[in-house]
Amino acid sequence: MPLLFILTLFFKFAISTDFGDLVKTTVRGNEAVLYNCSSSEDLQISNCYLDLFRKYNLNVTSLPGSETDPFQVIRYDATNMCKNYKALKTCANNDGCFNYNTFRALLNSEIDAEYYVSQTGFLEFYCFHGSDFILYYECMQTIELDDLSETIFTECSELEVGTCDSVSKTTQCERAVVRKSCISLKAINAYCQYQKILTSMTGWNQCEYMPCVNFSSKSTSFFMIFLIIYVYFLHRETII
């Protein structure tokens, strides 16, 4: 497992704290199109997560909510995180159940379901798309160093409210910032890989058109220019 080794090394150097900031938040899923697992499958998934948490000495009998951030200890554990995540997937035995509807049914809360999707999506990205993750990480560092890019990138997610149109706009917006700010051209693919994971878990990949999911030659530059001007005037004082 050379990639895992590289990743571990990379984060020994790069990260001395939690990388919770890199976890992309998600909005409410597209419940109408997502596969609903049976209640026995749901129970199985729940038990698999409880097993995962117990490996980190969280003595829990039901899934903890987002307010306690139960994934924090896992995110800190660059060494065993992926081994444990793989064990979770093996235990669940059905990737299709890792979706918003399952978490919504298990946790009975929109916010908590969004949290589990985000955290699980992050583990999937980190553990199974390691080289994309590194590019994404470097790209986010670059964006963070530039006030205007960072402001726009943050502003992009404000557009997202859980409809095909809004998720599509947010994706287009963020992808435009990535294209403009990040050194590696492959950063766009890395960003899109992450989006593909998240939108498949939330069902927004089944919209008629979703950037990163559907191929398209659509130009985003007009949209980007509009956005830069908009954000510029909105945050004029703080940027200057």
Ligand X SMILES: *[C@@H]1O[C@H](CO)[C@@H](O)[C@H](O)[C@H]1NC(C)=O
Where on the chain is the footprint of ligand X (CB under 6 A)? Answer: 31-32, 34-36, 59, 101, 205-206, 208-209, 213-214
191 Cβ contact partners less than 8 Å away, ≥ 6 residues apart: 136, 139, 174, 175, 178, 212
Smallest distance from the beta carbon of 4 to ligand X, in angstroms? 30
Report the residue number, 36 or 220, with the smaller CB distance to ligand X.
Answer: 36
Residue linked to tokens 């992309």: 24
Closest separation in Å from C-beta 2 to ligand X = 33
Spatial CA neighbour of 178 closest among 239, 210, 219, 224: 224
Q: For the CB of residue 140, give the shortest distance to ligand X in the complex, in Å.
A: 26
- Shortest distance (Å) from residue 79 CB to ligand X: 23
Helices 164-181 and 130-145, interaxial angle, to 10°? 80
For ligand X, the closer CB: 17 or 217: 217
- Residues 6 or more apart whose CB falls under 8 angstroms from that of 160 comprise 27, 166, 167, 169, 170
Whole-number minimum distance, CB 213 to ligand X, in Å? 5
Residue with smaller CB distance to ligand X, 55 or 235: 55
We find the least distance from the C-beta atom of residue 207 to ligand X, in angstroms, to be 7
Buried/exposed code over 140-168 (b: 16+ C-beta within 10 A; e: otherwise)? bebbeeeebbbbbbebbeebbebeeeebb
Cβ density class 190-227: b for 16+ within 10 Å, e for less: bbbbbbbbbbbbbbbbebeebbbbeeeeeebeeebeeb
Comparing CB distances to ligand X, the nearer of 152 and 169 is 169
Measured from the CB atom, the residue of 99 and 149 that comes closer to ligand X is 99
**C-beta of 101 vs 118, nearer to ligand X:** 101
Give the largest Cα separation in the chain, rounded.
56
